[in-house]
């Protein structure tokens, strides 16, 4: 049973680090501040979910798991709120989003 949990935890950590690195590359290469917010949101939600769940599977069900779950819940609740506040402040600060007008369908 421990082997299955170890492999599952390793797979979840690998998936989490993949999401974190992909989001980081997105923050570097995206053309606009609003698209970069989307890439950073990927690291905050998906990356932290897989990494923290992978860590939760490595210990038994005790106080450490509860604290990891609290951290995960808090990150999940507050990251979208922070992204929304940032987007609202950027629009209020008159940052123009990049909009491609000619690619809309008729």
Partner 1 sequence: MESVVDLALLGLLAVTAIAVVRVRNLVAVVMLMGIYSFLSAALFVVLDAVDVAFTEVAVGAGVSTILALGTVALVGTRQQRHAKSPVIPLLIVLVTGGMLVYGTYDLPRWGQADNPIHGHVAPEYLADHVPLAGQDGEALEVHIPNIVTTVLASYRGYDTLGETTVVFAAMVGVLLLFVGTGGRRGASARGAGGGDDDPDGAS
Partner 2 sequence: MMVVGASIAVLVTMGMAMVRALLGPTVYDRVLAVNMFGTKTVLTIALIGFFTGRPEFLDLALAYGLLNFIGTIAVLKFFQFGSLGASGPPPGETESG
Q: Is 19 left (phi over 0), alpha (psi -120 to 50) or beta?
A: alpha
Query: Per-residue string for binding with partner 2, 13-42, x by CB under 8 A?
Result: xx-xxx-xx-xxx-xx----x--xx--x--
Contact call for residue 79 and partner 2 (CB under 8 A): yes
CA distance 33 to 67: 33
Residue 86 binding partner 2, by CB under 8 A? yes
Alpha helices in 1-106 (DSSP H): 2-29, 33-42, 48-56, 63-92
62 near partner 1, judged by CB under 8 A:
no
Cβ atoms of 40 and 23 within 8 Å: the answer is yes
Q: What is the DSSP string of 81-97?
A: HHHHHHHHHHHHTTPPP
Taking CB under 8 A as the criterion, the residue among 4, 28, 63, 92 binding partner 1 is 92
Contact set with partner 2 (CB under 8 A) = 9-10, 13-14, 16-18, 20-21, 23-25, 27-28, 33, 36-37, 40, 43-44, 47-48, 51-52, 54-55, 58-59, 64, 67-68, 70-71, 74-75, 78-79, 81-82, 85-86, 88-90, 92-93, 95
């Amino acid at each position: 049973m421990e082997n299955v949990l170890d492999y599952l935890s390793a797979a979840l950590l690998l998936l989490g680090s993949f999401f974190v690195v992909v989001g980081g590359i997105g923050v570097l290469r995206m053309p606009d501040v609003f698209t970069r917010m989307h890439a950073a949101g990927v690291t905050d939600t998906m990356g932290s979910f897989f990494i923290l769940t992978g860590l939760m599977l490595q210990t038994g069900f005790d106080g450490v798991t509860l604290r990891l779950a609290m951290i995960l819940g808090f990150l999940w609740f507050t990251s979208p709120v922070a992204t929304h506040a940032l987007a609202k402040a950027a629009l209020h600060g008159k940052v123009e989003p990049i909009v491609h007008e000619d690619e809309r369908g008729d």
